Structure 1
Amino acid sequence: MQAARAEMLAHPQVREMIAEAATWPGYALKRHNDAKHPLYKFSTLADFGVRADDPGPALSPSTSLRINVVEGMAAGIKAVMAHQSPEGAFQILVNIPRAFGGTGEDTWTWMLCDAPTLLYALLGLGMGEDERVQRAVEHLVGLVDDNGWRCVAAPELGKKFKGPGRRADPCPIVNVYALKALSRVPELLDSPVTRTGAEMLLWHWEHQAERKIYMFGIGTTFRRLKYPFVWYDVLHVVDVFSRFPFVHADPRFQEMVETITAQADETGRYTAGSMYRAWKGWSFADKKNPSPWLTFLVSRVQRRIGS
């Protein structure tokens, strides 16, 4: 196991990601599903099992990113934790156009479609004992409503600021992000908060033919296998659900799992049905050949739920 881990950390693509994470904030985020943004480098490194004290490369292997990274992951984490809002959420550098209620300028702020991903990454990287991270957890827990997490943002963005949906509706992707973050907090694995978020997503699956919520629908695109976990799709949702034992016996969850397992080839391997071009070169961003990582992710879900 230790040898495999050392090999993973030494892989050029992983070391490149560590180097990119150290450049946080990288650039201002303009759309929440920008798969090349350092936000998703952090969350993917957490998925891979990288830890806060893992060493980074002395020099990035990329010819386009020549940067010394002597602190490894610690450099990026320090930069992230330097920007925590008074409310408790960690902030991200964003640029919201005036047409969407922003200033059109780069601004440090938080929204529930970004902050939980940063929190998930910090928890996954082993920062859960830090009081600043614990405060961010408390903040996220405190924002859940009776129908799940809604489209909520920092006070400085104004009370009218929200995504394209009904104000009283929960936001599907926010609930995925929030549950994923809280899955890293053992005492919350079976709690009223996580049960509320889970029921929101299960309800959406059950009523998928009725309407979209905040423009998130459940159709052909949702059912395609895709990684990294950036947006609202079946493998992302199922992977998150598999972390919560109280969901495993729910028929709606089992239907989601069957949607995935039906996509296996004759040898039980899985191939991406969609990909992010920013991740071209990784096995999970290849729609022609089976991906060891996607196959592992599905196998891990099956192991978690005992199937």
Structure 2
Amino acid sequence: METIKWLLAADPYVAYTTRKNLLNRPDQDLSDLKKMVLNDDRIKKQLGIVANFSGTLVSNHKNPDLPIHILMFLMDIGLNREVPEIDQAIQQILGSVDENGVYRSVIKVPKSYGGTGEETLGWFFCDAPLLLLALLRAGVSYEDHVKQGVDFLVGLQRENGFPCAVSKELGQWRGPGKKADPCPYANLTMLRLLAMIPEYASSSVAWIAIDALLAQWENSLNAHPYLFYMGTDFRKLKAPAIWFDLVAVCDCLSQYPQARSDRRFAQMLALLETKANDQNQFTPESIYLKTKHWDYGQKKQPSPWLTYLCLQILKRCGRFGETLDEANDSVIFISG
């Protein structure tokens, strides 16, 4: 398929992850390409940020420059703890654990919002699951460093999903919404984490969170818990997949067989498919201004990285059949 050849001819970071994750090339065959990725000035800048992981104040979880979002992006590309800056980030996360096994960030919540107004270590449901996920993806021992925190967060789930919750350091802070509502982003971040844990991935805990997201989709005209909407802006293609939008939710739910068989998720996938051009390329419809130096930081032409993300989603869901031409280093997708 010409789309794959196009991805392989894109920036090294896209070519690297395409060969590694779509074409399943072994690491030893990608060493030269990996060096090119690490020599990219944009990647160097991001590695510098994650190397000082604990030095960034977390005040806006929608910020693509947050170290946790950058760390996830670097891992999505295929980089790991062999890169010194990533190892430094993991070591700093490990040093921030609380008595419940949940990892914390440097945060500050104004007194007017129920916080102390001072910088402190604490966690929101917006970021605690992602810190645990980063450790898992980095190969940290689940039993020794992750399980306690996961079990604690799972214990906060209610009948309608995961709530807005924070650590004790944040006092009575709560996001804008009804206390009884589930928080869509909390459900999304927890599902990203639980997908990697066999004992939870197929459990009722996961299904309750999945159903919370799909029920909101089904009632998107009226359901806006904690001001998270699934309307026009939600449905615009956007990368990186750090917040609450179509690509991020589809990427997460596509990892769950129980979601892939649900008609509501099928509707989301059908919408995603309609956004491809004739070459199965995807163009951003919304951008983060801080990403203007990346191929997904513009809305005028197809983005290789966004296209890679969408193809990964559709591949997991069997929306494309695949044959691999190893001689030509390409993949042919057949609409299914």
TM-score normalized with structure 1 length: 0.90
Match of 1:10 in 2: 38
Deviations 1:12-36 (A, max 9, x none): 2333322211111232111221221
Aligned: 1:127 with 2:140: yes
Cα offsets for 1:38-95 (capped at 9, x unmatched): 121112122223222x22xxxxxxxxxxxxxxx3321111111101111221001111
Q: State yes or no: 1:293 paired with 2:308.
A: no
Is contact 2:51-2:89 (8 Å) kept? yes
Q: CA deviation at 1:258?
A: 1.3
Q: 1:235 maps to what in 2?
A: 247
User: Whose Rg is larger?
Assistant: 2
Q: Which residue is equivalent to 2:96?
A: 83
Q: 1:112 maps to which residue? A: 125
- The runs of 5 or more residues in structure 2 that have no matched partner are 1-24, 320-336
Distance 1:48 1:141 in 2: 28
Cα distance change, pair 126–255 in 1 and its aligned pair in 2 (3 A): same
CA contact (8 A) 2:93 2:103 kept: yes
48, 60, 79: which one pairs with 1:19? 48
Structure 1 segments of 4+ aligned residues over 6 angstroms from their partners: none
1:59 counterpart residue number: none
Q: Which amino acid aligns with 1:268?
A: N
Show the 5 A alignment for 1:215-230: 215-230=227-242
The CA RMSD over aligned residues, in Å, is 1.6
Structure with greater contact order relative to length (CA < 8 Å, sep ≥ 6):
2
Contact 1:36 1:279 in 2 (8 A): no
* Structure 1 residues 248 and 278, CA gap change in structure 2 (3 angstroms): same
- CA separation of 1:46 and 1:186: change in aligned 2, threshold 3 A: farther
How many equivalent pairs are there?
290
Contact residue 253 and residue 259 of structure 2 kept, 8 A: yes
Aligned residue type for 1:231: W
| SS of structure 2 residue aligned to 1:108 | strand
**Secondary structure in 2 matching 1:20:** helix
Residue of 64, 76, 86 corresponding to 1:35: 64
Alpha-carbon distance between aligned partners in 2 of 1:129 and 1:150, rounded to the nearest angstrom = 24
**Who is 1:138 aligned against?**
151
Q: Whole-Å Cα distance in 2 between the matches of residues 48 and 35 of structure 1? A: 16
CA shift in 2, pair 1:177/1:126, >3 Å: same
Could you tell me the TM-score, scaled by structure 2's length? 0.82
**Partner residue in 2 for 1:45:** 74
Amino acid aligned to 2:56:
Y
Structure 1 unmatched ranges of 5 or more: 56-70
Q: Given residue 34 of structure 1, which amino acid in structure 2 is its aligned partner?
A: N
